């Protein structure tokens, strides 16, 4: 969907002259005109139009799939089993931050008609561009691994263990290619498939929520009160895992490309503002749906497994011979820990095979859909993004330090080895940040900083900067 090193130049390196064809360069698209969605005319005098919202609906739901992959589901069930309802507010905050970042990504695609990868190609020199590409590729691969394995686990549970995990992985790979072929028959059809999968997750995990009957008062309290009384290192680590599972950078690249599937007149500033408005509404609604699905999962396992021991669950499972691998929980007094597979077994032991079957369908929908997987718009959101970035980097460094101490010890030579790595990490982040600030005109490009050439000939202007309007027939998007 998104080419990280995509070019906006011809083969000889020269910039395309938009006057050579009938369309200006700002009409270049990721999506073919034959499958792109047209926006209905009219309703210019109304503040809100359901007809236009429907035309813009789709990209947000495809984007929200990343918030519902098996990695998110597993972090939810572990949070519920470890901290009961006390980490629900982390889920809410991470979705809110994700909504702000996705909004920026969508606005970038709408205003510039370029996705994030194309913008990075035009603005960054070769070295940071390659580093970004490698990091995004690694992120996608790591995400795909847990998504494929999650779907294979679902197939294993649905077949009562008759289909082994390896065969489930192969089936998942074939299914993924099959679903992606739907894109050839129109964007709307592909979007419909993902809406069906999200609806399946909403129905299945909602069913589990109703059957488990968690304390609604405690659910509400854990959602709105940003505190975790009595939480230790394990609970804090789980909270960080929730945040990391929700905020996935490669999803911003996807969202900035998906919004290009709508035919928007980028020579008309009102049409751009209209598209930004409806994409924001649609994305907010899609992420609200994903938040409630995650809330259902966390609440179910908070109600069922918090402070339970392996022995408690094991004795319950031994009474259900019809559940595959009902002896998966050891018979000891340690607090129970669960993953996607053990979570399904537990639900089967608690409520029978049908509950496990419903759980497996939800996991299958999550894993199958999540194989589909941005940015400054105004000064306030720029400052917010910088603050969020600083906090995330600080958290990364803290937990890297904690992990090193836990597994490698705190000897002096360990820190001697890790110090250069940390310096390189901070240096690279600083390098990218300075270029971002210059691109957004928060630092004057005439400022001379050793090692930075801000006056290189850029292929496009920065159309998302406030008070700048797209210019037709000059290569601006």
pLDDT in tens, 266-291: 778 888 889 999 999 999 999 999 99
Token digits for 233? 């290192």
**Would you state the pLDDT for residue 284?**
94
What's the average model confidence in pLDDT over 434-455?
64
What's the average model confidence in pLDDT over 219-228?
90
Residues 6+ apart with CB under 8 A from 243: 90, 93, 94
- Per-residue pLDDT of 359-375, as tens digits, reads 888 888 887 776 554 32
Mean pLDDT over each residue of the chain, to the nearest integer = 75
Q: Classify residue 26 by its DSSP letter.
A: G
Q: Per-residue pLDDT for 438 more than 80?
A: no
CA 389, CA 396: separation in Å to the nearest integer? 11
What's the average model confidence in pLDDT over 319-340?
79
- Per-residue pLDDT of 226-275, as tens digits, reads 888 888 888 888 888 888 888 887 788 888 888 888 888 877 888 888 99
Predicted model pTM: 0.75
Q: Classify residue 40 by its DSSP letter.
A: P
**Would you state the pLDDT for residue 410?**
62
**Would you state the pLDDT for residue 215?**
92
**Would you state the pLDDT for residue 96?**
93
Alpha helices in 213-321 (DSSP H): 216-224, 233-246, 249-258, 269-305, 310-317
**Would you state the pLDDT for residue 218?**
92
**E strand or H helix at 262:** strand 262-263
Q: Per-residue pLDDT for 104 more than 60?
A: yes
> Which position has the higher pLDDT, 399 or 143?
143
- Per-residue pLDDT of 26-80, as tens digits, reads 444 445 555 677 777 776 777 888 889 999 998 888 888 888 888 888 888 889 9
Q: Per-residue pLDDT for 453 more than 70?
A: no
Q: Per-residue pLDDT for 135 more than 50?
A: yes
- Domains of the chain (ranges, CATH numbers): 52-307+335-375 (1.20.1740.10), 379-467 (no CATH)
**Would you state the pLDDT for residue 250?**
78
**Would you state the pLDDT for residue 1?**
44
**Would you state the pLDDT for residue 138?**
75
Q: How confident is the model at residue 134 (pLDDT cuts 50, 70, 90)?
A: confident
């Amino acid at each position: 969907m998104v080419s990280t090193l995509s070019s906006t130049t011809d083969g000889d390196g020269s910039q395309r002259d938009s006057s050579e064809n009938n369309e200006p360069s700002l009409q270049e698209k990721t999506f073919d005109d034959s499958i792109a969605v047209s926006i209905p005319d009219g309703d210019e005098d109304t503040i809100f139009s359901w007809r236009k919202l429907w035309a813009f609906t789709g990209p947000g739901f495809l984007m929200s799939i990343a918030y519902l992959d098996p990695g998110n589901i597993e972090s939810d069930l572990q949070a519920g089993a470890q901290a009961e309802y006390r980490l629900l507010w982390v889920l809410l905050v991470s979705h809110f931050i994700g909504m702000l970042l996705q909004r920026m990504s969508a606005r970038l695609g709408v205003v510039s008609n370029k996705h994030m990868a194309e913008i990075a190609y035009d603005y960054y020199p070769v070295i940071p561009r390659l580093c970004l590409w490698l990091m995004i590729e690694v992120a996608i691969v790591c995400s795909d691994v847990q998504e494929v394995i999650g779907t294979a686990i679902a197939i294993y549970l649905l077949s009562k263990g008759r289909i082994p995990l390896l065969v489930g992985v192969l089936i998942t790979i074939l299914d993924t290619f099959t679903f992606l072929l739907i894109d050839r028959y129109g964007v709307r059809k592909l979007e419909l498939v993902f809406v069906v999968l999200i609806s399946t997750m909403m129905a299945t995990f909602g069913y589990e929520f109703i059957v488990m009957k968690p304390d609604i008062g405690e659910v509400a309290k854990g959602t709105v009160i940003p505190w975790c009384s009595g939480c230790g290192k394990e609970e804090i680590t789980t909270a960080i895992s929730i945040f990391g599972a929700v905020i996935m950078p490669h999803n911003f690249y996807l969202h900035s490309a998906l919004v290009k599937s709508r035919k928007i007149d980028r020579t008309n500033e009102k049409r751009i503002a209209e598209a930004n408005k409806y994409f924001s509404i649609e994305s907010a609604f899609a992420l609200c749906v994903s938040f409630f699905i995650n809330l259902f999962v966390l609440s179910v396992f908070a109600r069922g497994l918090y402070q339970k021991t392996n022995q408690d669950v094991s004795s319950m499972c031994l009474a259900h011979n019809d559940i595959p691998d009902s002896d998966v929980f050891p018979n000891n007094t340690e607090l129970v820990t669960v993953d996607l597979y053990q979570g399904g077994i537990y639900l089967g032991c608690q409520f029978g095979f049908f509950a496990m079957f419903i759980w497996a369908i939800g996991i299958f929908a999550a894993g199958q859909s999540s194989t589909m997987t941005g940015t400054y718009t105004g000064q306030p959101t720029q400052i917010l993004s910088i603050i969020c970035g600083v906090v995330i980097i600080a958290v990364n460094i803290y937990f890297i330090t904690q992990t090193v101490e836990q597994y490698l010890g705190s000897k002096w030579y360990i820190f001697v080895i890790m110090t250069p790595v940390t310096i390189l990490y901070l240096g690279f982040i600083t390098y990218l940040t300075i270029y971002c600030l210059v691109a957004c005109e928060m630092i004057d490009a005439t400022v001379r900083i050793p090692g930075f050439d801000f006056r290189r000939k850029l292929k496009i202007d920065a159309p998302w900067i406030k008070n700048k309007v797209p210019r037709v027939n000059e290569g601006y998007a």
